[in-house]
C-alpha cells in the first residue's frame, strides 16, 4: 500500500472536478513517486507532528519536539499550534475522545480509498462526532463550505461542505459503526496562520443523509473514473484545484491550453484596463475573475515545471529543459484592404510602381511563398514592402527555444492586472 491513496480525501476536490486528474497524476507518480517536500510542506508536517505529540503525550514532550524542529522560530509556531490544542481541549472537556492522525479505510467508497484525518473525535455517548482538519498553510484560504466549487457540483453531489472532511467523517462512521446512532457531525477547519479577518476555526454541522449522498456519489464517481475502458475520453477541467495537482506543468494538456488561451487574451488586450466605459468594465472584470481563478494554477504550473525538469535531470531520465512561454510564429499577411485592381494599383504606387488598374487581370489572395515564386528579385522587394507582419500568439515552447520569453514575463503581466 503506498503512503497516499490516489483517491484519498485530500485530492477529493480535484478528483470530482477533473476526471482526468486521476490518470494524469498516476502517470506522474509512477514515473517520479511522491513529490519532494517543499520547505512549506516540511513546516506543515513538523507542526502536525508537534500537535500529535501534544495531544497524545502532553505539553512537555511537545515543547521539546517543537524546539528541536523549529529552533529560533519555535515560539511563533507554538502560538499557531496552540490554537488547535485549545480547540481539542475545549471538546475534551465536553467528553470527546480524540484520535489524532488516525488512518481510515474508506473501502465503502472504493477498495483503493483511504486517508489519515488530523483530529477525528467521538463523544462519550457516541452520538456526536467531530472531524478537525489542521491546515498549516498561510497562503491559501481553505473553505469549509462549497463556495470554491461550482454550483452544478452542489446539485450533483448534494454536499455543500468540504468533501475532504466529509470523507474522513464517512471513514469514522464506518470504522466505529455509528451510522445508525450518530446525531451530530461537526466538520472543522483549523487554519491559524491564514492572515485574514476570518476566524481561524471554521465549523460546519452536517446531516447524516448528506454524508450518505456524498458517499454514494463518490462511489459512483470513482467507479466511473477508475473503471474507464478508455481513460482518454474522460474530461479535464482546469481551475484553482489544479494548484496541488501533480500533472500541473507536467503532462496536462488542458492546463497548458487554458494558460495559453489566458495569456493570449491578456497580452494584446492589456490596454482594455484603461477603458472606463461600462462595456469594457464588464470585459475587464470578466478577465480579472478568470485570471484570479487561474493564478494559483499558474504559479503551481511554473513550480511543477521546474520540479519536473530538476527530477528528470537528477533522476537520470535525460536532460529535460522544460517549457516556457514563447512567441508563436509570426505570420505574413497582405493588407486586407487590397481587394480590387484599383486598391492594388494604389498600394504599389507607394513603392514607386505604376500599374494601370486596366492591366490587372485578377486580384486574388495567395500564400506569400507562392507569390514570391512568381516574382523576380525586384518584385520580391515590392512584395516585402507590402507585407504586414502579425505577431504570433503566445504559446508554450521548449525552454531552450529561441522564441522563449524570460520566465517571469507572463507572471509580471498578471501581477499588474491583479494588483491594479
Ligand atoms: S492540472 Fe488541472 S486540468 Fe490538469 S489534470 Fe490536474 S486537475 Fe485536471
pLDDT of residue 393: 57
Residue 15 Cβ < 6 Å to ligand 1: no
* Residue partners of 286: CB distance under 8 A and separation at least 6: none
Nearest to 290 by CA among 323, 266, 326: 266
Q: 52: CA distance to ligand 1 center in Å?
A: 32
Q: What average pLDDT values come out for the chain (420 residues) when binned by 10 residues?
A: 79 89 91 66 90 96 96 92 95 96 95 96 97 80 48 50 90 97 94 73 88 90 94 87 80 78 56 42 57 63 61 49 57 69 81 80 70 70 67 59 57 40
Q: 299: CA distance to ligand 1 center in Å?
A: 14
User: Which atom of ligand 1 approaches the CA of 18 most closely?
Assistant: 8
What span, in angstroms and rounded, lies between the C-alpha atoms of 160 and 150? 10
Task: With beta carbons less than 8 A apart as the criterion, state whether 150 and 164 touch.
Answer: no
CA within 13 Å, CB half, 348 = 19
pLDDT of residue 237: 87
Q: 313: CA distance to ligand 1 center in Å?
A: 24
Backbone φ and ψ for 119, nearest 5 degrees, come out as -135, 65
Backbone φ and ψ for 120, nearest 5 degrees, come out as -80, 150
Q: 256: CA distance to ligand 1 center in Å?
A: 10
Nearest to 346 by CA among 336, 356, 358: 356
DSSP 8-state secondary structure symbol assigned to residue 286:
H
Residue 134 Cβ < 6 Å to ligand 1: no
What span, in angstroms and rounded, lies between the C-alpha atoms of 102 and 115? 8
Task: With beta carbons less than 8 A apart as the criterion, state whether 151 and 125 touch.
Answer: no
What span, in angstroms and rounded, lies between the C-alpha atoms of 3 and 9? 13
What span, in angstroms and rounded, lies between the C-alpha atoms of 131 and 135? 13
Q: 382: CA distance to ligand 1 center in Å?
A: 49
Provide the b/e sequence for 98-118 (b: ≥16 CB within 10 Å): bbbbbebebebbbeebbbbbb
pLDDT of residue 340: 82
Task: Report the Cα 41 to chain-centroid distance in Å.
Answer: 17
Residue 242 Cβ < 6 Å to ligand 1: yes
Residue 241 Cβ < 6 Å to ligand 1: yes
pLDDT of residue 269: 45
Angle among Cα 388, 394, 399 to the nearest 5 degrees reads 125
Task: With beta carbons less than 8 A apart as the criterion, state whether 359 and 348 touch.
Answer: no
Residue 234 Cβ < 6 Å to ligand 1: no
State the cell numbers at 367.
500564400
Q: Which domains does the chain have, with CATH numbers?
A: 9-233 (3.90.320), 248-308 (no CATH), 318-419 (no CATH)
User: Which atom of ligand 1 approaches the CA of 241 most closely?
Assistant: 7
* Residue partners of 251: CB distance under 8 A and separation at least 6: 24, 27, 28
pLDDT of residue 412: 46
DSSP 8-state secondary structure symbol assigned to residue 368:
H
Name which residue sits closest to atom 2 of ligand 1, judged by CA: 242
What span, in angstroms and rounded, lies between the C-alpha atoms of 186 and 326? 49
Using only C-alpha atoms, the chain has a radius of gyration, in whole angstroms, of 29
pLDDT of residue 285: 55
What span, in angstroms and rounded, lies between the C-alpha atoms of 122 and 129? 5
User: Which atom of ligand 1 approaches the CA of 237 most closely?
Assistant: 3
User: Which atom of ligand 1 approaches the CA of 24 most closely?
Assistant: 5
pLDDT of residue 357: 83
* Residue partners of 90: CB distance under 8 A and separation at least 6: none
Amino acid at each position: 500500500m503506498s503512503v497516499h491513496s490516489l483517491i484519498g480525501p485530500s485530492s477529493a476536490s480535484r478528483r470530482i472536478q477533473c476526471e482526468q486528474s486521476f490518470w494524469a497524476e498516476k502517470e506522474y507518480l509512477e514515473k517520479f513517486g511522491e513529490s519532494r517536500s517543499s520547505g512549506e510542506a516540511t513546516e506543515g508536517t513538523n507542526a502536525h507532528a508537534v500537535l500529535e505529540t501534544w495531544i497524545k503525550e502532553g505539553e512537555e514532550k511537545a515543547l521539546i519536539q517543537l524546539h528541536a524542529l523549529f529552533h529560533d522560530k519555535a515560539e511563533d509556531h507554538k502560538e499557531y499550534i496552540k490554537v488547535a490544542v485549545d480547540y481539542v481541549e475545549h471538546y475534551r472537556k465536553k467528553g470527546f475522545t480524540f484520535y489524532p492522525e488516525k488512518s481510515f479505510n474508506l473501502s465503502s467508497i472504493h477498495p483503493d480509498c483511504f486517508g489519515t484525518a488530523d483530529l477525528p473525535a467521538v463523544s462519550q455517548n457516541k452520538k456526536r462526532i467531530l472531524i478537525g482538519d489542521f491546515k498549516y498553510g498561510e497562503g491559501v484560504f481553505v473553505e469549509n463550505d462549497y463556495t470554491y466549487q461550482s454550483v452544478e457540483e452542489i446539485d450533483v453531489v448534494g454536499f455543500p461542505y468540504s468533501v475532504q472532511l466529509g470523507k474522513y467523517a464517512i471513514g469514522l462512521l464506518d470504522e466505529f459503526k455509528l451510522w445508525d446512532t450518530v446525531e451530530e457531525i461537526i466538520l472543522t477547519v483549523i487554519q491559524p496562520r491564514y492572515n485574514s479577518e476570518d476566524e481561524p476555526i471554521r465549523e460546519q454541522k452536517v446531516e447524516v443523509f448528506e454524508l450518505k449522498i456524498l458517499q454514494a456519489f463518490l462511489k459512483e464517481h470513482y467507479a466511473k473514473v477508475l473503471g474507464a475502458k478508455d481513460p482518454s475520453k474522460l474530461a479535464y477541467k482546469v481551475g484553482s484545484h489544479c494548484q496541488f495537482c501533480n500533472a500541473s506543468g507536467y503532462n496536462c494538456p488542458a492546463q497548458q491550453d487554458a494558460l495559453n488561451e489566458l495569456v493570449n487574451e491578456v497580452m494584446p488586450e492589456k490596454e482594455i484596463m484603461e477603458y472606463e466605459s461600462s462595456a469594457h468594465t464588464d470585459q475587464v472584470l470578466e478577465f480579472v475573475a478568470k485570471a484570479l481563478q487561474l493564478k494559483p494554477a499558474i504559479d503551481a504550473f511554473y513550480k511543477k515545471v521546474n520540479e519536473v525538469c530538476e527530477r528528470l535531470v537528477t533522476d537520470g531520465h535525460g536532460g529535460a529543459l522544460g517549457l516556457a512561454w514563447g512567441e508563436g510564429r509570426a505570420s505574413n499577411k497582405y493588407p486586407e484592404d487590397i481587394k480590387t485592381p484599383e486598391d492594388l494599383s494604389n498600394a504599389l504606387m507607394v513603392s514607386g510602381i505604376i500599374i494601370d488598374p486596366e492591366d490587372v487581370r485578377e486580384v486574388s489572395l495567395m500564400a506569400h511563398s507562392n507569390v514570391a515564386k512568381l516574382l523576380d528579385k525586384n518584385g520580391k522587394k515590392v512584395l516585402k514592402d507590402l507585407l504586414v507582419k502579425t505577431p504570433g500568439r503566445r504559446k508554450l515552447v521548449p525552454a531552450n527555444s529561441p522564441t522563449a520569453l524570460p520566465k517571469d514575463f507572463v507572471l509580471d503581466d498578471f501581477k499588474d492586472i491583479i494588483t491594479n
